[in-house]
A and B are shown apart, each in its own frame.
Chain A
Amino acid sequence: MNGKKLLAKGYLWLLLAILYTPILIIAIFSFTETKVLGNWTGFSLKLYTSLFDGGMSHSLLSAIENTIIIALVASTASTALGSIAAIGIYNLKAKPRQAVNFLNNLPLINPDIITGISLFLLFVWLGISQGYTTVILAHITFCTPYVVLSVMPRLKGMNPNIYEAALDLGATPFQALRKVIIPEIKPGIISGFILSFTLSIDDFAVSLFTKGNIGLETLSTYIYSDARKGGLTPELRPLSTIIFVSVLVLLIIINKRSERQAQQKKV
């Protein structure tokens, strides 16, 4: 290994070390009972067990439940809406397609705070009281564009004649959709769903502006109000660790899938 290569590798690993030190600290201190970070009070799994046996505070538990329910509903709805929309957009004429693509990109360009505030104003203007429904609608709003973008490349890679062939052979358009198009774009749909799910779980700003004041908390908004009060609930450390490891595993799976698809394409 020559000097230049060593330097390059060294730089990468140094940067990675800085990026991961804070996360590692949280992970390490999830294995001790201390209330204050940095104060090691001996190895213990108590924080992990209290996560699962209901030993932790009720509000954290319901925040976790809300986060998962919202993510499941929102990502399912976005996946359905976005996949059908992608097929539609793909078959639009050039001009309207560009227009819809532009609209589809708006939520991607806007920072979270703008998406959150604009939807907050919409619900105020419509006089809708904010809560579960508004948070889910807001999450569908920022997740669906990602579904459209992950389904679109599959449609572009598809042979356009097989849909026509199915119709010629007597399939109704809905049969052709179910038997021809959907199987072809399925990998894109699955990636879109996973992407939406992680985005929804991860969201903070949009949820904060659309959750209203009925006491609904998601994990992110719970952490926020907790941190503002000063201390962090110790159970958040094992929870963050678990979330971090799950995200890592999910991403590796998605990545392996897309690598495999790329290889299949080459073959």
Chain B
Amino acid sequence: MRQKILRFFTRRSTWASPYILFLLLFVVLPLILIGLYAFMDYEGRFTVSNFTKFIEQPEALNTFIYSVGMAIVTTCLCILLGYPAAYILSDKEFNTSKTLVLLFILPMWVNILIRTLATVSLFDITGIPLGQGALLFGLTYDFLPFMIYPIYNTMTKIDKNLIEAAQDLGANHLQVFVKVIFPLSLPGVLSGIMMVFLPTISTFAISELLTMNDIRLFGSIIQENIMLSDTMNYGAALSLIMLLIIGITCLFDNSSKDSQLNQGGLI
């Protein structure tokens, strides 16, 4: 018996169990709780009123639609600006320096509030008024590195033989790009969309700071409701809607972030 117990604890696969328990308690259970609270009223009874409130209240619904719109525009801007940058960075003809790549992803590791406040000060100094334009600039500024990095990562892993084969078979530069490089870089673009689109909908502090509390995104509404005990269940319902969007976005992108991280490279 003692032997058996000892063998159980020294088997290496057993060492995953503390973390599995941890994940169940701190990741799975909390997500289930969002669902539970969303369908409960203040006194803990089952209800769908939190969702009817969302549809009937124009403010929350409008903010939601506006946030999705802003997130789409921000994501498009990030692709338009980031894709060429990632392409140039990964092309040996233009760039061989890892440090330059590092400079592009470095802002990912600087506190997002500090970066946002820095943008606010840039607008202050140049005298450009804060508002929707500033918000779009700020969001694009904050999330651009998260678009460049995954695209760059995928592009560096494209097999160079494929490009050479295409060239040998008579494809010109444009054809090589359209037929070979672009299709192979799409997984990176999808990861980038995940890393930009979702956080943009759910930001709350950034929009407050860049528009002097004028424009609020969906994240702000969630935050305001969840922190107060009498609207907590409504906040949970809004979070569940957010989770739904995450689920839908994930369906489009099966190669989630871990494939990026697992492949190593920079960080």
Are A108 and B115 interface neighbours, CB within 8 A? Answer: no
Known contacts: A224-B113, A247-B109. The answer to whether A26 contacts B103 by CB under 8 A is no
Interface: A52 (CB within 8 A): no
Are A114 and B111 interface neighbours, CB within 8 A? Answer: no
A209 to B242, CA, bound (A): 16
Are B102 and A117 interface neighbours, CB within 8 A? Answer: no
Cβ–Cβ < 8 Å partners of B170 in chain A: none
Are A19 and B111 interface neighbours, CB within 8 A? Answer: no
For the complex formed, measure the closest distance between the CB of B206 and the CB atoms of chain A, giving whole angstroms. 10
Residue in B124, B222, B236 whose beta carbon sits within 8 Å of that of A121 in the complex:
B236
Interface residues of B in 21-42 (CB under 8 A from A): 22-31, 33-34, 37
Are B258 and A111 interface neighbours, CB within 8 A? Answer: no
A16 to B144, CA, bound (A): 11
Are A25 and B18 interface neighbours, CB within 8 A? Answer: no
A125 to B16, CA, bound (A): 27
Residue in B20, B122, B209, B226 whose beta carbon sits within 8 Å of that of A117 in the complex:
B226
Interface 9-residue window, one of A41-49, A57-65, A81-89: A81-89
How many residues on chain B are close to A (CB under 8 Å)?
Answer: 90
Interface: B194 (CB within 8 A): yes
Interface: B162 (CB within 8 A): no
Cβ–Cβ < 8 Å partners of B267 in chain A: 191, 195, 251, 254-255, 258
Residue in A8, A141, A254 whose beta carbon sits within 8 Å of that of B94 in the complex:
A8
A111 to B236, CA, bound (A): 15
Cβ–Cβ < 8 Å partners of B266 in chain A: 255, 258
For the complex formed, measure the closest distance between the CB of A10 and the CB atoms of chain B, giving whole angstroms. 10
Are B209 and A227 interface neighbours, CB within 8 A? Answer: yes
Are A16 and B113 interface neighbours, CB within 8 A? Answer: no
A223 to B81, CA, bound (A): 29
Are A122 and B110 interface neighbours, CB within 8 A? Answer: no
How many residues on chain A are close to B (CB under 8 Å)?
Answer: 93
For the complex formed, measure the closest distance between the CB of A116 and the CB atoms of chain B, giving whole angstroms. 9
Task: Choose among B16, B81, B94, B258 the residue with the greatest number of A CB atoms under 10 Å from its CB.
Answer: B16
Known contacts: A106-B31, A122-B26. The answer to whether A18 contacts B141 by CB under 8 A is yes
A104 to B209, CA, bound (A): 33
Are B84 and A110 interface neighbours, CB within 8 A? Answer: no
Interface: A162 (CB within 8 A): no
**Per-position 1/0 for B110-127, Cβ under 8 A of A:** 111111011101101100
Known contacts: A111-B202, A119-B30. The answer to whether A223 contacts B19 by CB under 8 A is no
For the complex formed, measure the closest distance between the CB of B114 and the CB atoms of chain A, giving whole angstroms. 5
Additional 17 contacts, C-beta under 8 A, given A85-B16, A85-B19 = A5-B93, A11-B85, A12-B85, A25-B118, A84-B18, A106-B31, A109-B194, A114-B34, A114-B202, A114-B243, A117-B226, A118-B30, A122-B29, A149-B261, A208-B223, A220-B113, A244-B110
Known contacts: A8-B88, A12-B100. The answer to whether A228 contacts B110 by CB under 8 A is no
Closest B residue by C-beta to A262? B264
8 contacts between A and B (CB under 8 A): A23-B118, A103-B23, A104-B23, A111-B199, A121-B226, A141-B26, A173-B10, A251-B267
For the complex formed, measure the closest distance between the CB of A80 and the CB atoms of chain B, giving whole angstroms. 10
Cβ–Cβ < 8 Å partners of B209 in chain A: 227
Known contacts: A81-B22, A84-B18, A247-B110. The answer to whether A153 contacts B117 by CB under 8 A is no
Interface: B15 (CB within 8 A): yes
For the complex formed, measure the closest distance between the CB of B247 and the CB atoms of chain A, giving whole angstroms. 10
